[in-house]
Amino acid sequence: MSARVILFASLTLCAVLGVGGELLRPDPERRNFEFFPDMARSPAAESQSPSSVLPGGITHQGLPEGVVVRGGESFRYGPGPEEATRAGRELVNPLEHSAETLARGAELYRAFCVVCHGADGNGGGSVVQRGMLPPPSLLGARARQIADGELYHLLTRGQGTMASYALQLGPLQRWQVIHHVRALQGATR
Ligand code: HEC
């Protein structure tokens, strides 16, 4: 390496260190220098707004396949009658029959089910009185035969024209409602 190159390199180094040192020196009176402002200030995206970079043009991306939310529910049964039957065979109501569970179940039933199924469960709720086709009676032979686990599957996944109630009712609440349905059927357990 020639002497000129070494000299040039040292001068450049001094200049860089000098400028850098000046910029980095703490001075409470002066704003800090931002080396990479793009990293400090990324564009803020609103979760419900469209996106020009994310898949599907949607900002609010769903969970990747197979992710289990911490503290969330893992329900190992898919939709459909076969899975419902399997749930009926395998799941048991974890809640003991108690006055408190029943009271809570009745309250949830009043809030979420009564409009269609009616207070006594025979399918004459207020929306039926306004013209909706009546749902099957919860006091009918089929509803009495459905196992608790199958009922839980129905509330979690929905059945036919009845939607899932998994968003409105947490797992324990679904089991509480099931206690109430059994009470309506006069088959408390
Ligand atoms: C918007 C009206 C509506 C609401 C609200 C509703 N259901 Fe249903 N439910 C239906 C309909 C319609 C069916 C028939 C579904 C099918 O098989 O096509 C049904 C079916 C059922 C069945 C199965 C009955 C059978 O004989 O197959 C049960 C049990 C049941 N509902 C319980 C509930 C409970 C518990 C709630 C409250 C968490 C609830 N439903 C809320 C409309 C409703």
pLDDT of res. 6: 85
Q: What is the DSSP letter of 45?
A: -
Q: Ligand 1 in contact with 136 (CB < 6 A)? A: yes
**Residue 20 pLDDT:** 61
Q: In CATH terms, is domain 81-184 a member of 1.10.760.10?
A: yes
Q: Can you spell out the DSSP letters for 54-92?
A: SGGGBSS--PPTT---TT-------SSHHHHHHHHHH--
Answer yes or no: is the C-beta of 145 below 6 A from any ligand 1 atom: no
pLDDT at 188: 42
Per-domain boundaries in the chain:
81-184
Residue nearest to atom 42 of ligand 1 (CA): 162
Enter the tokens of residue 142: 């089929």
pLDDT value of residue 1: 61
Beta carbon of 159 within 6 Å of any ligand 1 atom: yes
Average pLDDT, 10 consecutive residues per value, the chain (189 residues) = 81 70 73 78 87 92 84 87 97 95 97 96 93 94 95 96 94 97 79
Is residue 120 within 8 Å of 65, Cβ to Cβ?
A: no
What is the pLDDT, as a whole number, of residue 189?
41
- Contact yes or no for 99/164 (Cβ under 8 A): no
Residue nearest to atom 23 of ligand 1 (CA): 143
| Predicted local confidence at residue 12, as pLDDT | 83
**What's this model's pTM, rounded to 2 decimal places?**
0.73
